[in-house]
């Protein structure tokens, strides 16, 4: 058993301790529950803590282990972003609209993890309906970054990233529509993986933008992400966007040598707007790859500068359609004493949706309206194809693309509250990957002013194994992924 505190150990280390009988799942689960009680009040990572249920699941895992029925994730305590439906447990999407909604069914992804023997500690805070890049848009209040309580953790999966950085779960899940796994992973100093669109089922994941949303693991190490992806990925006939492709063993190729790896550096990712300290940190990380035998060349993704504009037409358009179901009639929040049906709709939605959600619904409805559909939505989809083609051409010359995950480290809570454009530009390096449907990952690469900085790695479609191999090799020669906030190490 490792000498490190339990909450600083990787999934691999914890799984080995559980298999060897050095610790029980009940003891491990109670350890995390105790840390949640101690720290969640100031960090605000969890919306719901499932103490009784998690201890029951841990007890069941201990019985399975005793009977020799153990899988790699059996008995491991996890927590889920609060937009994945979990049967019998509140699924709020960080919104007043769903504050009273108990999911009557289990999402495919959380069901896969449940079947693998994991323990669910609870549901994690997030920007309302995943709309935001700072986790300040939650009905339940902002999440605070464990590295500095005065700065954001990133969003929209800020609760998932902060919980990992603070050691409140062994692994967490997130969703990524325009960078919402990778950007908070960068700002909280953890590993965050957005797989290829269609690699993990979206069934039971409350939709923001259906053509962009993708679930993924948020973990301490790349090796842990591979273990999680082995279980999370797979074809689901209930999801029409799920890809019917075999799932490889992502752990099997982690230790492949990198000699001969061709790395592309998009000149558009090292331009104006990038903090010079972040740039230097990322270039230092890339130099480590050169020491391992990789070659580096500058490439161009010429339509990158259109990605923000295209995304903020496509995503709100899809959001306005997806959120039309939340009307106060069938489920969710309903206003008091409506005068008529129109009043019911208007007040239920007006009182329960936050300002960011309302803004995006209005933008999306406008973009889809008669007379503007072709001018905005159709044009944005054409730009999306150009962005995808840029990546496909680049991957004819290189094996992976690298660059910064975010242009700056985490910024103070409230600093960009009145400047939505500045907030949106924080996703400039991640959005293109979603528009193209590619897999991307952020791994810890250094520190700036005591705050983590992430290196983003992008691979061709369904090349998650390559992505994980490249990230794992970096973590074999550096220790940034092992760093934790000083005051949370005990």
Q: What structural domains does the chain harbor? A: 6-263+397-488 (3.90.1300.10)
The predicted structure's pLDDT at residue 102: 98
β-strand partners of 80: 123, 173
**Displacement of CA 156 from its chain's centroid (Å):** 8
| Catalytic, out of 81, 114, 123, 416 | 81
CA distances from 52 to 29, 76, 285, 343 (A): 11, 16, 43, 40
The predicted structure's pLDDT at residue 420: 84
**Known catalytic membership, residue 156:** yes
Structure tokens belonging to residue 266: 């998009």
Number of Cβ within a 10 Å radius of residue 148:
17
pTM to 2 decimals?
Answer: 0.97
Number of Cβ within a 10 Å radius of residue 396:
7
- Alpha-carbon distance of 271 to 380, in angstroms, equals 23
- Alpha-carbon distance of 331 to 312, in angstroms, equals 28
**Segments of the chain scoring below 70 in pLDDT:** 1, 490
**Displacement of CA 328 from its chain's centroid (Å):** 29
| Catalytic, out of 15, 95, 157, 180 | 180
Q: How many CA atoms lie within 13 A of 214 on its CB side?
A: 33
Residue 174, SS3?
strand
**Known catalytic membership, residue 81:** yes
Looking at residue 262, the DSSP 8-state letter turns out to be: E
The predicted structure's pLDDT at residue 294: 98
**Known catalytic membership, residue 358:** no
CA distances from 166 to 42, 305, 481 (A): 11, 35, 13
Measured at the CA of 379, the angle between CA 378 and CA 383, to 5 degrees, comes to: 120
Residue 263, SS3?
strand
- Alpha-carbon distance of 377 to 384, in angstroms, equals 10
Relative to beta strand 295-299, strand 262-266 is: parallel
Instruction: Determine what percent of the chain is predicted with pLDDT higher than 90.
Output: 95
| 210 within 8 A of 364, measured Cβ to Cβ | no
The predicted structure's pLDDT at residue 370: 87
CA distances from 464 to 42, 145, 402, 433, 457 (A): 35, 28, 14, 13, 10
| Catalytic, out of 156, 160, 242, 251 | 156
CA distances from 310 to 114, 132, 313, 322, 393 (A): 37, 16, 5, 18, 20
């Amino acid at each position: 058993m490792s000498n490190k505190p339990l909450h600083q150990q990787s999934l691999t280390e914890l799984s080995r301790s559980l298999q060897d009988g050095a610790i029980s799942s009940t003891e491990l689960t109670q350890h995390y529950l105790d840390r949640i009680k101690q720290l969640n009040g100031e960090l605000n990572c969890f919306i719901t803590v499932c103490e009784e249920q998690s201890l029951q699941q841990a007890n069941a895992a201990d019985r399975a282990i005793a009977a020799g029925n153990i899988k790699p994730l059996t008995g491991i305590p996890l927590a889920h972003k609060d937009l994945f439906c979990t049967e019998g447990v509140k699924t709020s999407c960080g919104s007043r609209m769903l504050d009273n909604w108990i999911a009557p069914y289990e999402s495919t992804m959380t069901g896969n993890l449940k079947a693998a023997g994991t323990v669910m500690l609870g549901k994690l805070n997030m920007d309302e309906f995943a709309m935001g890049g700072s986790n300040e848009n939650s009905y339940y209040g902002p999440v605070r970054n464990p590295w500095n309580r005065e700065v954001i953790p990133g969003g929209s999966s800020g609760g998932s990233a902060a919980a990992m950085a603070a050691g409140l779960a062994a692994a967490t899940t997130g969703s990524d529509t325009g960078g919402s796994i990778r950007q908070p992973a960068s700002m909280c100093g953890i590993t965050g993986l957005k797989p290829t669109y269609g690699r993990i089922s979206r069934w039971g994941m409350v939709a923001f933008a259906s053509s962009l949303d993708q679930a993924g693991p948020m973990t301490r190490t790349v090796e842990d992400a591979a273990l999680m992806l082995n279980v999370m990925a797979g074809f689901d006939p209930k999801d029409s966007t799920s890809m019917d492709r075999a799932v490889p063993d992502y752990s099997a190729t982690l230790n492949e040598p990198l000699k001969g790896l061709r790395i592309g550096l998009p000149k558009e990712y090292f331009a104006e707007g990038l903090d010079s300290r972040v740039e230097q940190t990322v270039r230092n990380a890339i130099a480590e790859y050169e020491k391992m035998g990789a070659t580096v060349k500058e490439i161009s993704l010429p339509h990158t500068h259109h990605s923000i504009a295209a995304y903020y037409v496509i995503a709100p358009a899809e959001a306005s359609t997806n959120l039309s179901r939340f009307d106060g009639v069938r489920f969710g929040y309903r206003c008091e004493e409506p005068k008529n049906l129109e009043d019911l709709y208007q007040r239920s939605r007006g009182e329960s949706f936050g300002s960011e959600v309302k803004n995006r619904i209005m933008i999306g409805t406008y973009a889809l309206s008669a007379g503007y559909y072709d001018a905005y939505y159709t044009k944005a989809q054409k730009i999306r194809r150009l962005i995808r083609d840029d990546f496909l051409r680049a991957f004819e010359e290189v094996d992976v693309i690298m660059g910064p995950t975010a242009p700056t480290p985490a910024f103070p809570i409230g600093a960009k509250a009145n400047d939505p454009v500045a907030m949106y530009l924080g996703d400039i390096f991640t959005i293109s990957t979603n528009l193209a449907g590619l897999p991307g990952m952020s791994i810890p690469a250094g520190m700036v002013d005591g705050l983590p900085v992430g290196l983003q790695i992008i691979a061709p479609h369904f090349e998650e194994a390559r992505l994980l191999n490249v990230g794992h090799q970096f973590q074999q020669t550096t220790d940034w992924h092992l760093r934790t906030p000083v005051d949370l190490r005990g």
